[in-house]
Amino acid sequence: MSFQFTAEQLARLRDLEAKAQELDLTFEEADLRDQTFLRLQKRLTGQARQKLEEIFQSGGRPLVESLSQKISDQLVALGMIQVSTPIIMSRSRLSRMFSDDHPLPEEQVFWLDQKRCLRPMLAPHLYEYMLDLSRLRAERPFAVFEIGPCFRKESQGSKHASEFTMLNLVEVGLKAQERQGRLLQLAGEIFGQIGLEGWRVERVDSTVYGQTVDLVDHSGLELASCSMGPHPLDAKWGFSGTWLGLGFGLERLAMSLAGLDRLSPVARGFGRLLGLPLNI
Ligand code: ATP
Ligand code: MG
């Protein structure tokens, strides 16, 4: 008979950033396994304490926050405009993102009252900017973006958090035939900026936008969903023209960059400092 680490032991070791080959160890006896676990835990805890000491010396910020800063600096340098819109969203705005075929998924939304919710996406508020700015800058391309918290009731899982950080950028006024190439160019620049390699494009259907393009990492993890207009939903906003939109999940980017199999170490929370567990 052979023994592997128990689920509880594995969770602890994973938290302490044990290597894959350490997690996969097998033992002939349970005693031997438990002794090895204790030894491994001791070593990894020591390493974590050392890292903590370094953090106390040098300071630092969570990976999602540093990605947010890097990407926003980059996009502004490309001439894009950052906006900051309310976290509270009206039902009427949100409902304009859905059609009769694909009704608003009420149960996924954190409703504050009958008319307001915690925004599950940024697009409705960016539509408002698309409208205002198109009027003021007719016929010429411009781009706006927002980075900030979004909220969704998910049937939880290792790749979903109920609070996460979205980067949504929209570029208006490109020639229709340029949108696809521009999408790939922007994706390449953003991934390049944060050093994320091995991403690829996947074509999928989206309930919100009909045909969309997803960007996934080397393991197939969805990092971003992208869409293009003119689009049927534009009419609900009174918007006409071409546009290109990319929506990235920053925790997904962080998770992929850090080589994690779950989101929690990089998501909003406590009990961790810069991803490092504090129960050491
Ligand atoms: P998924 O299919 O992975 O549930 P989605 O297609 O519903 O995601 P989108 O509406 O496309 O999500 O949102 C844009 C991006 O936001 C996603 O590509 C993903 O990176 C991120 N994202 C969406 N929901 C969550 C969540 N609950 N937790 C963390 N990131 C999320
Ligand atoms: Mg998606």
Residue 92 has pLDDT above 80, yes or no: yes
Distance 257 CA to ligand 2 centre (A): 19
Please tell me whether residues 55 and 164 are part of one structural domain.
no
**CA of residue 248 to ligand 2 center, whole Å:** 9
Q: What average pLDDT does this structure show over 56-78?
A: 97
Asked, for residue 276, whether it belongs to a domain, the answer is: no
Amino acid (1-letter code) at residue 270:
F
Same domain, 139 and 99: yes
Do residues 182 and 134 share a domain? yes
Q: Is the CB of 224 under 6 A from ligand 1?
A: yes
pLDDT in tens, 188-242: 999 999 999 999 999 877 655 556 899 999 999 999 999 998 998 999 999 999 9
Contact present, 256 and 223 (Cβ < 8 Å) = yes
- Residue 124 scores a pLDDT above 70: yes
The per-residue pLDDT for range 130-163, each reduced to its tens digit, is 999 998 987 789 999 999 999 999 987 899 999 9
Looking at the domain assignment, is residue 268 inside a domain? no
Q: By three-state DSSP, how is residue 267 classified?
A: coil
Q: Closest Cα to atom 8, ligand 1: which residue? A: 222
Same domain, 115 and 174: yes
- Report the percent of the chain where pLDDT is more than 90: 82
Same domain? For 68 and 178 the reply is yes
Instruction: Supply the CATH number for residue 53's domain.
Output: 1.10.287.540
Question: Could you tell me where the DSSP H helices lie in 59-116?
Answer: 63-77, 91-95
Q: Is 179 in the pocket of ligand 1 (CB under 6 A)?
A: no
- Rounded to 5 degrees, φ, ψ at 242 are -90, 150
Of residues 62, 250, 255, 264, the one with CA closest to residue 161: 264
Residue 85 token pair: 């819109």
- The first and second tokens of residue 83, run together, are 């906006």
Q: Which long-range contacts (CB under 8 A, 24 or more apart) does 41-45 make?
A: 41/12, 41/13, 41/16, 44/13, 44/16, 44/17, 44/18, 45/16, 45/280
Residue whose Cα lies nearest atom 25 of ligand 1: it is 160
Whether 245 shows a pLDDT value over 90: the answer reads: yes
Domain count, the chain: 2
